[in-house]
Amino acid sequence: MTIFEPENGAFFDHSSIIIQGQSTNSVEISINNRNIFIDENGIFKEKYLLSQGNNIITILAKDKFGGVIKKTLELVYE
């Protein structure tokens, strides 16, 4: 799984961000335990609201065999 945006460790001065990436061979992707839409090419793009301060976002991609890839983003909303 590749996360296109945002970069891990990024700082924001606004709460609304876009999390975008791609995961090949995944049948399900979730952001903080909430399933999101993936297109036929494995591309995902989801709006996300940050809380004030530090935010830890966990992105899980599951394949049809039960394998899981986990990525964690640590973002700051000032």
Whether the bond into 6 is cis, omega within 30 of 0: yes
Residue 3: its pLDDT value, please?
97
What CATH topology corresponds to 2-77? Immunoglobulin-like (2.60.40)
Virtual torsion, Cα 75, 57, 72, 40, nearest 10 deg:
-120
Local confidence pLDDT in tens for the 78 residues of the chain: 999 999 999 999 999 999 999 998 899 999 999 999 999 999 999 999 999 999 999 999 999 898 999 999 999 999
pTM of the predicted model as reported, rounded to 2 decimal places:
0.90
The domain spans of the chain are 2-77
